Chain A
Amino acid sequence: MDNLLLMLAPLFSSKLLLVLFFGTLFGLILGVLPGLGPTTGGALILPFTMTLDPLSAIVLLTSIYCAGTYGGAITAVLINTPGTPAAAATCLDGYPLAQKGEAGRALGMATVSSTVGGIFSVVILVFFAPILAQLAYEFGQPEYFALAIFGLTMLASIGEGSPIKNLIAGAFGILISTVGKDFMTSIDRFTFGINELTEGIGFIPVVVGLFAMSEMLTQSTLINQIFNRIALKAIKLPSKDDYKKTWKTILRSSGIGSFIGVLPAEGGTVASLIGYSEAKRFSKNPEEFGKGSIEGIAGAEAANNAATGGAMVPTLALGIPGSATTAVILTGLIIHGVRPGPDLFREQPDFLYGIFGAMLIANILFFIFGFFGAKIFARITLVPNKILWPMIFAVSVCGTYSLNQSIIDVWIMLFFGVLGFFMRRYGFSVVPVIIGLILGELVEGTLRQSLVIFDGNWLMFFTRPIALTFFILSLIALAFPLIRSRKFKKKNDKV
C-alpha cells in the first residue's frame, strides 16, 4: 500500500507533472522523426538534466523513453518509415492498412496496444525489479562478472544482425572503456599522450556520435528520397470486432516484450519482431499479415512498448542496461549520484517508486497525446531534412561540449559519427558498442577483483554456483544462433 502511494507521488507534484508532460511531448516528437529516437534524444537531453533534481531528471528520461518508443508507430503507419528501429515491424501492416484508407484505425490500434503493452511492463517492473534486487544481495564480484558476460553474449543471441559482428561490436565497446587511467594502478592506457583522454572516453560523445551523427551521414545519402505520405483525418479507437480479434495478441506480445526487455539486448527492436512473428503464428488469418492485418500492428506495438518496462528491470536492480536507451538512463542515474542496485531499493524506495509511477503516467499521457495530437505530430515529419539535421547538429555539438566543456569531446563525437556510419553500412550494429562501453568497467573491474580474491586461480570462478549458472547460460546464448541457423537451413533444404 505504501509503495502504491509512492508510485502516485508524481501525480501530486506539479514539478514532476510538468516534467512528465514535456518529457512525453518531446519523446513523441523524437519518435516521430525518422533517425532520431529515445536513445539519441535521451543522450542530447542529459546535459539539461543537470539543472534538475535526480528524480525529475530520471522521470524526464523515462518519459522520453516510453513516448519515443510509441511515437515511431505514427511515422511507420503514415510514411512507411519507422520513426524508431523498434517500429520497423509496425510498417509491415500499418502502412498497407493506411493505404486502404484506414490510417486512423491503424494508428488507433497502435496507440491502444502500445499503451496496454507499456502499462503491462510497468506492472512487471514493479513486481520483478525488487525480487531481482533481492537476489542480487547474493552476488559478489565473480557473480557480477559472470552476469556481465552473460549480458554481452545475449547480444549475439537475440540482437539483430550477425551474432559475431555483434560480439565484435560489444568487445570494441569494452575496449573503449579501457581508455584512460587504469582504475586499479593509475597507469595510462591508449591515451597517446593526449591529456584529455586520461579521464577516459565519455559516454555522451560516443552515444551522440554513434546515433545522431552517423544518422546525419546516413540522411546525407538519402536526400533525394521521396516519402509517400498518407493523410490522416483522425485516429479511431478500435472497434469491438478489432478488440475481439486482438486482445490475446496484445497480451501475448506484452508478455514477450517484457521478457525480451529484461534480457540485455536490443530491447524494443527485437521484441517487436518476435511479437509480430508470434502474432502471425497464432493468428487465424496469417495470410492477412503484410497486407494490413490489425493483429500484426497490435503484436508489434504491444511488444515494443512492453520492452520499455522490462528493460528497466535489470537497469535498476543490477545496474545492467536492458537496451541502448536504458544505458542512457543508467548514465543519467550515475551522473546524478544514484547507484543502481539492491541498495537503491532498500535506501531510496520513494525515488524508485516515483520512477515506476512516472512510467505508468507517461504511458497514459502518450495515449492522450497520441489520440488527440497524432495529426499534428504527423506534420512534424514535413520538416525537411536539409533544415532539421543542421539544427540537430548544433544541439548535438553544444550538448556534447557542455558536459565537460571540452572540445575534444566534440571531436570524439564526430569520430564516432563517421565510425557508426560505416559500422551500420557493413552490418555491425552500434547498440552492442554502447552496452559494451557501459558494461566495460564492470567486466574488467569484477574480473580483476575476483582474480585477487581467487589468488589468480581462474578455475575458482566455476566453484561459485550462481557464476557457473551465468557461464552456462552464456554458452547457451552463444550456441543459440548456431542452432537457429542450422534449423533454418534444414527447413529450407526440406522446402
Chain B
Amino acid sequence: MKNVQKQKRANKSLPFFFRDEFKVSLVIILISLALLITTFTFDIVPPILNRGIQPATFPKALLVLIIIMTLLIYYLATKNPWKVEKKLPRSFFLTLLSFVIFVVVSKTLDFFLAISALSIFVSYCWGEKRLFYLLLVGIIFPIIVFIFFETILGLRFPPGIITNIYYS
C-alpha cells in the first residue's frame, strides 16, 4: 500500500505530458477520433431502404461514448494520479520483436518455420541455452503440434518452403 502511494507521488512530480494517464488517454482519444472520422466514409443507405438507424450511427455513438469516458478518467486522474509503472525490461522488447519476426517469416517464407524461429528465439532470450531444450521447443514440439492438427483436424497449413516439402 505504501509502495503504491510512493509510486503515485512519483507520478505527480512528473510534467503532465509525461504522465501515464495523459499518454494513455491521448492514445485512446486519437485512435477513437481516427475511427470516428472513418465512420463518415461508410456507405449511406438511401432513406427508402433504410429501416431504423444508419449502419454508421451505432459505431459513432460508441466512439463518442469512449471519448467522453476517456476524458472522464483523465479528469479523475488529475485528482488521483495513477501509479508509475516499472520500466519494461529488455526481454519484453525481444519478445515483442519475436512477434514481428513471426509475422514477417510466416508471410514471406513459411508458417512452420515462423513458429519454430519464434520458439527458439523466445526460449533463448528468456535464458534457455541448452541445445536439447531449444530443439525441443523449436523443432520437436512444433512438429508434434503440426502433425496433430494436420491429422486430427484435417488442417492444411499455408504453403511455404517447408510445408510444400511435407505436402508434396
Interface residues of A (CB under 8 A from B): 47-48, 50-51, 162, 164-165, 167-168, 171-172, 174-175, 178, 182, 184-185, 187-190, 216-217, 220-221, 223, 384-387, 389-391, 393-395, 397-398, 401-402, 405, 407, 410-411, 414, 417-418, 425-427, 444, 447-449, 451-452, 456
Is B14 an interface position by the 8 A CB rule? no
Given contacts A47-B153, A51-B152, A414 and B91 within 8 Å (CB-CB): no
Distance, CA A32 to CA B80, complexed state (A): 36
A417 to B99, alpha carbons, bound, how many Å? 10
Q: Is the CB of B20 within 8 A of A426?
A: yes
B102 touches A220 (CB 8 A): no
Counting CB contacts under 8 A, is B113 at the interface?
no
Complex contacts, B152 vs chain A, CB 8 Å: 48, 51
Shortest distance in angstroms between A435's beta carbon and chain B's nearest beta carbon? Answer: 15
Q: A50-B153, A190-B38, A398-B149 are in contact. Are A172 and B59 (CB under 8 A)?
A: no
Would you call B42 and A168 a contact (CB within 8 A)?
Answer: no
Mostly helix, strand, loop or mixed at chain A's interface?
Answer: helix
Known: A190-B38, A456-B52. A391 touches B66 (CB 8 A): no
Q: Are A410 and B106 in contact (CB under 8 A)?
A: yes
CB pairs A–B below 8 angstroms (23 shown): A165-B73, A168-B66, A175-B62, A178-B58, A185-B45, A185-B50, A187-B42, A189-B42, A217-B92, A220-B89, A220-B95, A221-B92, A386-B122, A386-B127, A390-B137, A397-B102, A407-B158, A410-B106, A414-B103, A417-B99, A426-B85, A449-B52, A452-B51
A172 touches B58 (CB 8 A): no
Point out the residues of chain B lying under 8 angstroms from A449, CB to CB. Answer: 52
B72 contacts across to A, CB distance below 8 A: 164
In the complex, the answer to whether B119 meets A393 with C-beta atoms within 8 Å is yes
A223 touches B91 (CB 8 A): yes
Please, which residues of chain A bring their CB within 8 A of the CB of B20?
426
Q: Which of A171, A188, A397, A401 contacts B69 (CB 8 A)?
A: A171
**Residues from chain A with Cβ under 8 Å of B28 in the complex:** 168
Task: Tell me the residues in window 123-140 of chain B with beta carbons closer than 8 Å to chain A beta carbons.
Answer: 123, 126-128, 133, 136-138
The complex places the Cα of A220 from the Cα of B123 at a distance, in Å, of 10
Do A411 and B103 touch (CB < 8 A)? yes
In-complex Cβ contact of B156 among A175, A220, A223, A405 (8 A): A405
Point out the residue from B39, B70, B157 that lies within 8 Å of A168, measured CB to CB: B70
Contact B145 A402 (CB under 8 A): no
**For the complex of A and B, 7 pairs with smallest distance between CB atoms:** A390-B119, A386-B126, A220-B95, A182-B55, A451-B52, A386-B128, A448-B52
Whether A426 touches B43, Cβ cut-off 8 Å, given contacts A171-B62, A393-B118, is no
A162 to B21, CA, bound (A): 13
Q: For residue B86, which residue of chain A has the nearest CB?
A: A221
CA distance A221 to B89 in the complex (A): 6
State the CA gap A458–B118 with chains docked (Å): 52
- Which of chain A's residues have a CB closer than 8 A to the CB of B24? 426
Q: B96 at interface (Cβ–Cβ under 8 A)?
A: yes
How near does chain A come to B57, taking the closest CB pair, in angstroms? 9
Q: Is the CB of A168 within 8 A of B126?
A: no
Chain A residue at minimum C-beta to C-beta distance from B51 = A452
Known: A390-B118, A405-B156, A452-B51. A188 touches B66 (CB 8 A): no
The answer, among B35, B137, B153, for a CB contact under 8 Å with A48, is B153
Alpha-carbon separation in the docked complex, A92 to B145 (Å): 38
**Contacts A167-B69, A448-B53; A407 near B106 (Cβ below 8 A):** yes
Residues in A whose Cβ lies below 8 Å from that of B26: none
| New A-B pairs, 17, CB < 8 Å, besides A51-B152, A418-B99, A452-B52 | A47-B153, A178-B59, A182-B55, A220-B95, A223-B126, A384-B128, A386-B122, A386-B126, A393-B118, A394-B142, A397-B115, A398-B115, A407-B158, A411-B103, A418-B96, A425-B85, A449-B52
Q: Please, how many angstroms separate the alpha-carbon atoms of A453 and B65 in the complex?
A: 25
Please measure, in the bound complex, the distance between the C-alpha atom of A168 and the C-alpha atom of B145, giving whole angstroms: 37
CB distance from A489 to the nearest CB of B (A): 11
CA distance A255 to B78 in the complex (A): 40
Known pairs A175-B62, A187-B55; A220 contacts B92 (CB<8 A): yes
Supposing A171-B65, A414-B102 touch, asked if A402 and B58 sit within 8 A by C-beta, the answer is no
Which among B55, B65, B111 has the highest number of chain A CB atoms within 10 Å?
B55
The one of B43, B50, B95, B157 in contact with A188, judged by C-beta atoms closer than 8 angstroms, is: B43
Considering the complex, which residues of chain B in the window 7-66 have a beta carbon less than 8 Å from any beta carbon of chain A? 20, 24, 28, 35, 38-39, 42-43, 45, 49-53, 55-56, 58-59, 62-63, 65-66
CB distance B149 to A402 under 8 Å?
Answer: yes
Q: Complex formed: what's the CA distance from A47 to B150 in Å?
A: 12
* B96 CB contacts on chain A under 8 angstroms: 217, 418
CA distance A204 to B43 in the complex (A): 29
Smallest CB separation, A273 vs chain B (Å): 16
Q: CA of A394 to CA of B111 in the docked complex: distance in angstroms?
A: 11
Q: Which one of B50, B70, B76, B115 contacts A393 once the chains associate, using CB atoms below 8 Å?
A: B115
B155 interface hit (Cβ, 8 Å): yes
**Bound CA span A394–B96, Å:** 16
Scan B105-123; emit 1 where CB is below 8 A from any A CB, else 0.
0110001000100111011
Known: A189-B59, A402-B153. A394 touches B119 (CB 8 A): yes
**Cα–Cα, bound, A386→B39 (Å):** 43
In the bound complex, residues from chain A placing their C-beta under 8 Å from that of B1 are none
With a cutoff of 8 Å between Cβ atoms, the chain A residues found around residue B55 in the complex are 182, 184-185, 187, 189
Given A190-B59, A405-B156, A398:B38 Cβ within 8 A = no
What separation, in Å, do the CA atoms of A174 and B24 have in the docked complex?
A: 20
A303 to B141, CA, bound (A): 38
